[in-house]
Structure 1
Amino acid sequence: MATHTVTTTWKGKMQFESTNPSGETLLINTAPEHGGGEEGLRPKALMLSALAGCSGLDVASLMEKMKLEVDDFKIETVASLTEEHPKVYDAVTVEYHFYGSNLNEAKLQRAVDLSVEKYCGVMEMFRQFAKMEIKVLFHHQ
């Protein structure tokens, strides 16, 4: 079984630096109203980035394998937090936006479906605690 190790080191005040198995690092911080600063990513929002990144990598790989023409591709991830502490995401909408003049909507939909239903491990983790809604939008240029 594979394991991942991440080391997160306090850098003072409310800032941490976290490593990644690739060797890259990122800064984590809280909002200024909670004593944090401007530098660094918020922990819960990082989870949404991980979700979009995981699925996006799947879709990008499938777009290449399917030889699909896409000028641009972005993922908007919107999550609602519960009111009670600990505040958690209870509903997440993932919107896949494809831009181009020659979009093959059926194959792009298939790529998203494969990521959502089969390949994206982060998506499966999110399903354990949140209601997931998936939207695919095509922007013909």
Structure 2
Amino acid sequence: MTHKVTTEWKKNVKFESDNPSGHNLFIDLGEDNGGKGEGYRPKALMLSALAGCSGVDITPMLEKMKVDIDDFKIVIEGHLTEEHPKYYHIVTVDYHFYGSDLNESKINRAVDLSVDKYCGVMEMFRRFADVQVKSHFHNS
């Protein structure tokens, strides 16, 4: 399978990129780097792709496992190298699960399957970064 995106320059350092889903997004830099802040930052967009990839693995698995959660969020921090080209060399992925009676063993199983088997973006990150993963359970 091949994915194709087309990214068009919109002047200055702003670009518009399509997606196989049919949705478009804007990429831009902050004012401190010559942009106007009218879009996603390229490197941070990679972190969003990582969270989205893992999230779309985990939620259907939890549904199949009949695990009820009230809420779920993924917080990712990417630590950049000092030298150019700057890239994420350490990435922390924190999974936060909220609910009244969380089945931690099944949730951990779903996270492990995403991290170790299904999330291709996670595997790409592992090629260039130390990826650290942790689950947090917030029982209400």
Runs of 4+ in structure 1 over 6 Å off: none
Structure 2: any 5+ residue segments left out of the alignment? none
Q: Is the aligned partner of 1:116 residue 2:115?
A: yes
| SS class of match (2:137) | strand
Alignment of structure 1 residues 65-76 onto 2, 5 Å: 65-76=64-75
Partner in structure 2 of residue 36 of structure 1? 35
| SS class of match (1:52) | helix
| SS class of match (1:12) | coil
Partner in structure 1 of residue 133 of structure 2? 134
Deviation at 1:73, TM superposition (A): 0.1
Deviation at 1:26, TM superposition (A): 0.2
Partner in structure 2 of residue 81 of structure 1? 80
- Output the TM-score relative to the length of structure 1: 0.98
| SS class of match (1:132) | strand
Sequence identity, in percent?
A: 63
Q: Is the aligned partner of 1:55 residue 2:54?
A: yes
Structure 1: any 5+ residue segments left out of the alignment? none
Amino acid at match of 1:111: A
Two-structure CA RMSD over aligned residues (Å): 0.5
| SS class of match (2:29) | coil
Distance in 2 (CA, whole Å) between partners of 1:119 and 1:61 is 12
Partner in structure 1 of residue 96 of structure 2? 97
Aligned pair count?
140
Distance in 1 (CA, whole Å) between partners of 2:105 and 2:133 is 15
- Output the TM-score relative to the length of structure 2: 0.99
